[in-house]
């Protein structure tokens, strides 16, 4: 049995963190679904910028849409939805087989809306309506404005992928927004089958503290944050508040591991995937890491429900001057800024191609 199938069998979903037009059209995604047990897919502005930069397959559509008078952002969403709708259709069997728990693709709202809760909510509803696919999630960052929009979007029935979460506290804020959205639906007599995932970024923690701690603490911070958050996630699922919603038909907002490719060439390239094996979670895995894990990955156990050594490891970082709360805030701000930068580059690339 290959390693990806082992993860699937223990209850973890593998979602590919990539999309290109060729990946969808040339059979590669279908092969990943059939052979590597991929059951979902995520995207972001950086991924689409690379796809459009490195391929001419979008050029004719960009030309046509530009000639029709569409602005760069409208052109982008047309292109992205075309790819993601096709991917959603390929993943629809996983969605149906899991009774709407799995089989999702994700599209991010414009990063320009990061501080606009009303604008984010409106855009989430608009994009999900345009896709007309039940297994398309809208990605909303877990910032202060995003948390407000997430609750409103869940109440409106839009599946949400909460992105840019970096700490247990960030996760709990996203989970609270999901719970409030469901509780509002319950009070209004609406069905509670609105899916969501909460995406916790892992490897960026370790990159942020390079050279700031002793050798024995290298590449341990991201996993410790993941373990701490997994315990909080399991505790929430055992709480009376969640059990009330589950009894009324709600499904869990699954914890999702993001940024699981290694950045340090000195460590095993499958380190994070192996360390984050856990039931009832999702791993959005870069294509390179997916292929590496399928080739030589190993599943040796599952993440402990009680967080294992997480608190001890996190305390050790604190003793070496790492302010975890401040670093989490910095990482979230930097992540939002990076997506804004990618968005600007993407818009410029579309404008350049449209004018060529």
Q: Where are the alpha helices (DSSP H) in the chain?
A: 3-10, 21-25, 28-36, 45-53, 59-67, 72-97, 117-131, 144-155, 168-187, 203-208, 221-237, 240-247, 271-275, 287-296, 310-319, 324-355
CATH at residue 255:
3.20.20.70
The percent of residues in the chain predicted with pLDDT above 70, rounded, is 100
Q: Is the pLDDT reported for residue 333 higher than 80?
A: yes
**For residues 238 and 31, what is the distance between their CA atoms, to the nearest angstrom?**
37
What is the reported pLDDT for 1? 64
Helix (H, G, I), strand (E, B) or coil at 15: strand
139 is catalytic: yes
Q: Is the pLDDT reported for residue 314 higher than 80?
A: yes
What is the reported pLDDT for 340? 94
Q: Is the pLDDT reported for residue 307 higher than 90?
A: yes
- Per-residue pLDDT band for 15 (boundaries 50, 70, 90) equals very high
Residues 137-170 have pLDDT tens digits of 999 999 999 999 999 999 999 999 999 999 999 9
Classify residue 162 by burial, with Cβ atoms within 10 Å: 0-12, 13-18, 19+.
buried
Question: 258-267, 272-281, 285-294 — which is least confidently predicted?
Answer: 258-267
What single DSSP character describes residue 326? H
The stretch 71-89 carries a mean pLDDT of: 97
Q: 139, 231, 263, 288: which is the annotated catalytic residue? A: 139
Are 46 and 339 spatial neighbours (Cβ–Cβ below 8 Å)?
Answer: yes
- Per-residue pLDDT band for 264 (boundaries 50, 70, 90) equals confident
**Number of domains composing the chain:** 1
What pTM value is reported for the model?
A: 0.96
The stretch 15-21 carries a mean pLDDT of: 96
Mean of per-residue pLDDT scores for the chain:
96
- Look at residues 31, 24, 70, 39 and name the one whose alpha carbon lies nearest to residue 281: 39
What is the reported pLDDT for 55? 87
What is the reported pLDDT for 82? 97
What is the reported pLDDT for 337? 95
- Per-residue pLDDT band for 219 (boundaries 50, 70, 90) equals very high
Its domain, for residue 266, covers 3-355
Q: Is the pLDDT reported for residue 263 higher than 90?
A: no
**For residues 46 and 341, what is the distance between their CA atoms, to the nearest angstrom?**
9
The stretch 77-104 carries a mean pLDDT of: 98
Residues 165-175 have pLDDT tens digits of 999 999 999 99
**For residues 323 and 137, what is the distance between their CA atoms, to the nearest angstrom?**
33
Question: 73-77, 260-264, 303-307 — which is least confidently predicted?
Answer: 260-264
- Per-residue pLDDT band for 91 (boundaries 50, 70, 90) equals very high
The stretch 205-220 carries a mean pLDDT of: 95
Are 139 and 163 spatial neighbours (Cβ–Cβ below 8 Å)?
Answer: yes
């Amino acid at each position: 049995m290959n390693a990806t199938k082992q993860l699937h069998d223990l209850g973890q979903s593998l979602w590919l963190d990539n999309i290109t037009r060729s990946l969808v059209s040339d059979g590669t995604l279908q092969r990943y679904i059939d052979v590597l047990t991929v059951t979902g897919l995520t995207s972001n502005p950086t991924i689409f910028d690379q796809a459009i930069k490195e391929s001419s397959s979008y050029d004719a559509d960009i030309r046509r849409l530009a000639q029709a008078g569409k602005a760069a952002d409208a052109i982008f969403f047309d292109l992205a939805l075309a790819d993601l709708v096709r991917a959603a259709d390929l993943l629809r069997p996983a969605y149906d087989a899991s009774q709407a728990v799995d089989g999702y693709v994700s599209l991010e709202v414009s990063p320009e809306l990061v501080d606009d809760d009303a604008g984010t909510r409106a855009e989430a509803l608009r994009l999900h309506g345009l896709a007309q696919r039940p297994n398309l999630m809208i990605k909303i960052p877990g910032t202060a404005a995003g948390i407000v929009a997430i609750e409103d979007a869940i109440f409106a029935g839009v599946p949400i992928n909460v992105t840019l979460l970096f700490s247990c506290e960030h996760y709990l804020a996203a989970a609270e927004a999901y719970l409030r959205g469901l509780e509002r639906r319950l009070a209004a007599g609406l069905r509670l089958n609105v899916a969501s995932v909460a995406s916790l970024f892992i490897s960026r923690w370790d990159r942020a503290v390079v050279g700031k701690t002793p050798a024995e603490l290298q590449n341990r911070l991201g996993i410790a944050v993941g373990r701490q958050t997994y315990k909080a996630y399991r505790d929430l699922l055992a709480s009376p508040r969640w059990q009330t919603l589950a009894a009324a038909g709600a499904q869990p907002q699954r914890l999702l591991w993001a940024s699981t490719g290694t950045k340090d060439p000195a460590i095993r390239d499958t380190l994070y995937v192996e360390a984050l094996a856990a039931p009832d979670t999702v791993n959005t895995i870069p294509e390179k890491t997916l292929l590496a894990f399928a080739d030589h990955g190993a599943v040796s156990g599952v993440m402990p429900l009680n967080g294992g050594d997480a608190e001890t490891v996190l305390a050790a970082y604190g003793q070496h001057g790492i302010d975890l709360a401040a670093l989490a805030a910095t990482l979230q701000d930097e992540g939002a800024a990076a997506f804004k930068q990618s968005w600007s580059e993407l818009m410029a690339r579309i404008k350049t191609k449209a004018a060529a």
